[in-house]
């Protein structure tokens, strides 16, 4: 199945976190139209079972397909860990990429980074997706992982810095700080909003890896490989945002994430 080059790219997440991926995609691929789907009625995915996450992810891809997207980004670490291969098998003719493989591929090109930390939701960390992807290719690595469930509500309430944020970071990451990491992977698409606070906590001495940046690069490679880039000089249509709960609530948080006003938010 092929799709016209002018068709939009689809991105889905359990809520607003995937907007960090949206922002990186728009930065790297400004001529692409993007349809973003936030499953805000069923957020968070991080505490749900694998079967439930697969069912939700399948519904999300189905919806984006009806909107005519030419590729899909699973902009959710939990869904990437629990459901990526599942939805790929259901849509063999559609390019679907997640947020885990792009950053682990990058880490495999950096042999000097030997002590890696992974932070994410309960489901992402428990799945071992990052740990397994790294350890099966490099046996010289020390990989530690920690779930940080309070980071998501902090971000969604607009707390990106300050005393509360610093205390929560210390509660979760104190042990990693003492272990002298070389790099830390922000294994949840909400976490880039805390990137500066986390980097400051580590004294700016370790590499902080944002999955959103590497996912956008992977999408660009996939579109180029399939000759599916939008070759016109501008987006063929406006970006759109689809949510399964209140558009107004989503809009407020999304504008915090993106730093500008957004329109075209639709309830589905």
| Phi, psi torsion values for 141, nearest 5 degrees | -90, 150
Kindly state the tokens that stand for 159: 């707390």
DSSP, collapsed to helix, strand or coil, labels residue 8 as coil
What DSSP letter does each residue of 33-51 carry, written as one string?
-EEEEE-TTS---TTS-HH
* Catalytic option among 25, 188, 206, 212: 188
How many Å apart are CA 79 and CA 113, to the nearest integer? 27
Where are any strands of DSSP class E within 55-136? 71-74, 95-97, 115-120
Does residue 235 carry a catalytic annotation? Answer: no
Q: Which of 107, 83, 111 is CA-nearest to residue 97? A: 83
* Catalytic option among 63, 72, 76, 254: 76
Kindly state the tokens that stand for 110: 């950096």
Helix (H) or strand (E) holding 20: helix 19-28
Instruction: Decide if 226 contacts 95 (C-beta within 8 A).
Output: yes
Phi-psi region of 161 (alpha: psi -120 to 50; beta: other; left: phi over 0): beta
How many Å apart are CA 8 and CA 68, to the nearest integer? 7
How many Å apart are CA 69 and CA 151, to the nearest integer? 31
Q: Give how far Cα 17 sits from Cα of 25, 124, 153, 172, Å.
A: 14, 14, 11, 20
DSSP, collapsed to helix, strand or coil, labels residue 217 as helix
Does residue 188 carry a catalytic annotation? Answer: yes
Active site residues: 76, 188
């Amino acid at each position: 199945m092929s799709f016209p080059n002018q068709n939009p790219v689809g991105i889905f997440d359990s809520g607003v976190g995937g907007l960090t991926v949206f922002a990186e995609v728009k930065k790297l691929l400004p001529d692409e139209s993007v349809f973003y789907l936030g499953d805000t009625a069923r957020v968070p995915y991080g505490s749900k079972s694998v079967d439930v996450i697969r069912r939700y992810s399948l519904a999300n891809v189905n919806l984006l397909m009806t909107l005519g997207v030419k590729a899909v980004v699973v902009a959710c670490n939990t869904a990437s860990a629990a459901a990526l291969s599942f939805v790929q098998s259901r849509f063999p003719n559609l390019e679907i990429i997640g947020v885990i493989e792009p950053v682990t591929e990058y880490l495999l090109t950096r042999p000097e980074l030997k002590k890696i930390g992974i932070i994410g939701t309960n489901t992402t960390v428990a799945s071992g997706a990052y740990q397994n992807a790294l350890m099966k290719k490099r046996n010289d690595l020390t990989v530690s992982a920690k779930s940080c469930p309070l980071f998501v509500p902090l971000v969604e309430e607009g707390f990106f810095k300050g005393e509360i944020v610093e205390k929560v970071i210390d509660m979760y990451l104190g042990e990693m700080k003492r272990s002298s990491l070389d790099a830390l992977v922000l294994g949840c698409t909400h976490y880039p909003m805390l990137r500066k606070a986390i980097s400051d906590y580590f004294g700016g001495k370790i590499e902080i890896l944002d999955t959103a940046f590497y996912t956008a690069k992977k999408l660009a490679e996939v579109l180029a490989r399939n000759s599916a880039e939008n070759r016109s000089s501008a987006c063929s249509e406006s970006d759109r945002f689809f949510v399964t709960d209140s558009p107004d609530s989503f809009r407020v948080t999304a504008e915090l994430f993106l730093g500008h006003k957004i329109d075209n938010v639709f309830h589905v």
